[in-house]
Structure 1
């Protein structure tokens, strides 16, 4: 079992696809005390926890004792790791000198004009200088910590990915990429439900995503709604006050906490995740929309293909100097959810009508998005044109 701990309650940036930039922060905003952390690690060691990572929503390098936290984990014989936007240099060396198992740098562009859209308040040139400093520290002291660079893919930053890969690998860092998704879960569900709390800024962010939670993506994800949720079952998430939270996708840590980690056995905390009414209700909403799949596997299978199709359409339209309608990307020649004729589709497709009637599919539209549009099925309605 892995444990993720926010050792502080704040971040130095306001990224628009992250709750620290798109949601009101009603959580605890203090720094965890080292003594409490030592108790958490000691208890975790006896309860089968094998890895403790010092991040979830916030920036761990804000904590002045970050190095000591890593040392406590290592001394307990567990794997350790941090993830940072690396705009702060103050505690960077402390963290690296403690030799975590990995030191991850999260970024979203090579040039500032692009980077500042996804990492609001950050400066990519500062990040690059700090990356160079990390390399020099590693070389000088012969440190073994693996430095990972994780590049968040948006529709409009793919061209800069190769530049950041080259820069990172020249420094001896490991480079990986993944499609940025809209978080937290509360925000994603609000978008799906067309809740008025979704802001104009949120919709602007959705235009940049290769995997926005629009109706077509939800229908794809819902196909896998019975997929086991490892986020709830295999991860322990602790806030800076020592509370155990339902899962890593939840931002309202006060409402969705199931108890202080130090006050009860892990078995009881896990039981509460599955029995506490507000947690059960949230998990049901999430699973019914397939959003646990969206959170766990955005870079695999049908979701990856969905993202690739949107990126190809975006690049094609952009190269022609044409306007890009984000909601239609990857859906050329497809009937939109608003124009889909459910009754007609079911009437003309007996196998689909039977699958819906027996609960194998949620709707004719779900079949259309997953299969019918590719099979040329009749009855969908009026085609859109991208």
Structure 2
């Protein structure tokens, strides 16, 4: 069903009753903006037990609401991990699928990752900025190029999920980041940003823009742990992250902003003890979301080489530090047939406007087209699946391995 027809269906189903979104994290935020872009303004609240803000109620409060309301709301299930729980909840209150509730994925389309430049101030072991051959000179996306790409995205995928202003770069190194953020916000598009938060920038200015989602990528609480893969001459530099997290909370409170801050904690064998516990306590203190996950040796190009028994790369990347041995992961999963890929619905764009094979690839030789504006977005998936990198990735069972191991 085409997007316009699906939107008309949603408008009819939700007419004269409020809309509630079950799940207040990324997908929930994406759907909220999706509704606004299509002039559906009867959103009531999010339902989520882990995220607390003025737009969100607990599951228990939602159940009380359902018991007392005269007309049941139309519900959107926007949580992958709570899908069954929310579906069961709707069934308990005799809400019928399609008529009374649906899944956000019934409507949402692709997400986009746009690198505004190709730099980072760190060299992390699970990122190509730290473990891959440098890919040439520095690149910066001009603002007019960016606006033309965003306009094309909106025109060809009005059901897009979100735009993230990062893939393999540190976006906050761009001093003109503000205007890029504002342009996405003007279009009512869900916006995601990521930072290692380990350098100096105007935190208050970014907070004042009240962005939807901010991911803080880190791998340690203590200096001795963080410094293991981010060597520093000065011990105080390692605590840039901790002090900046506290400053971030202070500005959010002062400016009364509702940005969802998600601390993405990369787990290795050496940091899953006291470091992780300390970060849990800090995230609770600051009312930030914490997402610990098993680090994997991206990009895909490296992973494929490891699957081909590249022992030199295995030693160079110190793969023994990863919780799951990359070779064992693939050996355990390569017999599964390719069905769903966690990267399939993400479209990655380089600072020059080129289109990567997928958001997990990095090497410049793995480019689908030099200019995304020269290809129909509807053709990307089919073109991608014909590419050798995509075929090799599926052949080794990497998509299925990521689905089951990263979490």
Please confirm whether the aligned pair reaches a TM-score higher than 0.5, indicating the same fold.
yes
- The equivalent position to 1:223 in structure 2, one of 318, 335, 343, is 335
For 1:36, the equivalent position in structure 2 comes to 145
Cα deviation for residue 219 of structure 1 reads 2.0
For 1:47, the equivalent position in structure 2 comes to 156
Please give the alpha-carbon distance, in whole angstroms, between the structure 1 residues aligned to 2:312 and 2:321.
Answer: 20
Please give the alpha-carbon distance, in whole angstroms, between the structure 2 residues aligned to 1:231 and 1:103.
Answer: 20
SS at structure 2 position matched to 1:4: strand
**1:69-84 pair list within 5 angstroms:** 69-84=180-195
1:6 correspondence with 2:6: no
SS at structure 2 position matched to 1:198: helix
Specify every segment of 5 or more residues in structure 1 that has no aligned partner in the other structure, as ranges.
301-386
The 10-residue stretch of structure 1 (20-29 or 284-293) with the greater mean CA deviation from structure 2: 20-29
Cα deviation for residue 136 of structure 1 reads 1.1
For 1:245, the equivalent position in structure 2 comes to 356
SS at structure 2 position matched to 1:165: helix
For 1:198, the equivalent position in structure 2 comes to 313
The 10-residue stretch of structure 1 (74-83 or 257-266) with the greater mean CA deviation from structure 2: 257-266
**1:137-176 pair list within 5 angstroms:** 137-159=251-273, 160-176=275-291
Please give the alpha-carbon distance, in whole angstroms, between the structure 1 residues aligned to 2:175 and 2:299.
Answer: 27
For 1:354, the equivalent position in structure 2 comes to none
Cα deviation for residue 88 of structure 1 reads 1.8
Please give the alpha-carbon distance, in whole angstroms, between the structure 2 residues aligned to 1:120 and 1:80.
Answer: 32
1:115 correspondence with 2:226: yes
Cα deviation for residue 91 of structure 1 reads 4.1
Please give the alpha-carbon distance, in whole angstroms, between the structure 2 residues aligned to 1:64 and 1:57.
Answer: 18
Alpha-carbon distance change, 51 to 179 in structure 1, aligned in 2, over 3 angstroms: same
Alpha-carbon distance change, 22 to 236 in structure 1, aligned in 2, over 3 angstroms: same
For 2:217, the equivalent position in structure 1 comes to 106
Please give the alpha-carbon distance, in whole angstroms, between the structure 2 residues aligned to 1:197 and 1:207.
Answer: 13
**1:18-37 pair list within 5 angstroms:** 18-27=127-136, 29-37=138-146
Please give the alpha-carbon distance, in whole angstroms, between the structure 1 residues aligned to 2:401 and 2:200.
Answer: 33
Cα deviation for residue 120 of structure 1 reads 4.8
Alpha-carbon distance change, 296 to 31 in structure 1, aligned in 2, over 3 angstroms: farther
Please give the alpha-carbon distance, in whole angstroms, between the structure 2 residues aligned to 1:41 and 1:66.
Answer: 15
Please give the alpha-carbon distance, in whole angstroms, between the structure 2 residues aligned to 1:299 and 1:198.
Answer: 21
Q: Residues 28 and 241 of structure 1 are in contact (CA less than 8 Å); yes or no, is this contact kept in structure 2?
A: no
For 1:355, the equivalent position in structure 2 comes to none
- The equivalent position to 2:242 in structure 1, one of 107, 124, 128, is 128
Please give the alpha-carbon distance, in whole angstroms, between the structure 1 residues aligned to 2:245 and 2:224.
Answer: 19
SS at structure 2 position matched to 1:231: coil
Cα deviation for residue 95 of structure 1 reads 2.6
Equivalenced residues, count:
292
Please give the alpha-carbon distance, in whole angstroms, between the structure 1 residues aligned to 2:372 and 2:270.
Answer: 41
Alpha-carbon distance change, 14 to 165 in structure 1, aligned in 2, over 3 angstroms: same
- TM-score with structure 1 length normalisation? 0.71
Cα deviation for residue 227 of structure 1 reads 2.7
SS at structure 1 position matched to 2:188: coil
Specify every segment of 5 or more residues in structure 2 that has no aligned partner in the other structure, as ranges.
1-109
Alpha-carbon distance change, 224 to 120 in structure 1, aligned in 2, over 3 angstroms: farther
For 1:210, the equivalent position in structure 2 comes to 323
Please give the alpha-carbon distance, in whole angstroms, between the structure 2 residues aligned to 1:179 and 1:187.
Answer: 17
1:93 correspondence with 2:241: no
Q: Deviations over 1:245-300 (max 9, x none)?
A: 1101111134323341122321233332233xxx2x21221111111223344245
Please give the alpha-carbon distance, in whole angstroms, between the structure 1 residues aligned to 2:337 and 2:225.
Answer: 35
SS at structure 2 position matched to 1:257: strand
Cα deviation for residue 21 of structure 1 reads 0.6
**1:374-385 pair list within 5 angstroms:** none
Alpha-carbon distance change, 162 to 47 in structure 1, aligned in 2, over 3 angstroms: same
